[in-house]
Amino acid sequence: MILRFVLGVKGGGFVLKTCIRPRVSETDAVGHINNTTLPVWFEAGREEIFHRFTPDDNFNNWKCVIINSNIEFISQIYYGKDVEIKTWVKRIGNTSFTLYEELYQENTLCAKSTAVYVNYNLDKQATEPIPEEIREWMSGHLV
């Protein structure tokens, strides 16, 4: 079995860690993991955050809508070795928040991601303030 989430400590805050095994289908013909795979992996690293906003994992109640994604590609990523995604909260706004993530393979920092999300009510098509209990939980994962 996979450990769902291991909590670590960095600068006082807790980090979410996600272990990912690269797949053959995630490589490209240049020989490494294709750059379009990274948004998929970084999104996988945010699962626990999505789950806080939508505890029943029901997509009819989905809240987290991405509005900006920035990825810095630092080093090639290879098939055959596990990858670790570390996820922190960088900023907690009124209706939006920013996540900061790092991707490691064999202790090499291979990529960094910054993603901005809004807490969005898809039925009402409107943003909503981040609930207090999520805000508090997020405060414990600040970078």
- Residue closer to a second copy by CB (options 12, 59) is 59
* CB of 35 or CB of 139, closer to a second copy: 35
Nearer to a second copy, 100 or 139 (CB): 100
Closest by CA to 17, choosing from 46, 51, 52, 55, is: 46
- Please check whether residue 76 is in contact with residue 122, taking contact to mean a CB–CB distance below 8 angstroms: no
Residue 40 CB, shortest distance to a second copy, in Å, is 5
Shortest reach from residue 103's CB to a second copy, in Å: 13
- DSSP readout, 18-43? EEE---GGGB-TTSSB-TTHHHHHHH
Helices (H), 2-131: 37-44, 47-53
Least distance CB 58 / a second copy (angstroms): 9
HSE at residue 75, side-chain half, CA atoms within 13 A, is: 11
How far apart are the C-alpha atoms of 8 and 85, rounded to whole Å?
A: 12
Binding site for a second copy (CB under 8 A): 1-3, 19, 21, 23-25, 27-32, 34-37, 39-40, 43-44, 47, 50-51, 57, 59, 62, 65-73, 78-80, 82, 122
CB of 129 to a second copy, least distance (A): 20
When the beta carbons of 2 and 132 are compared against a second copy, the nearer one is 2
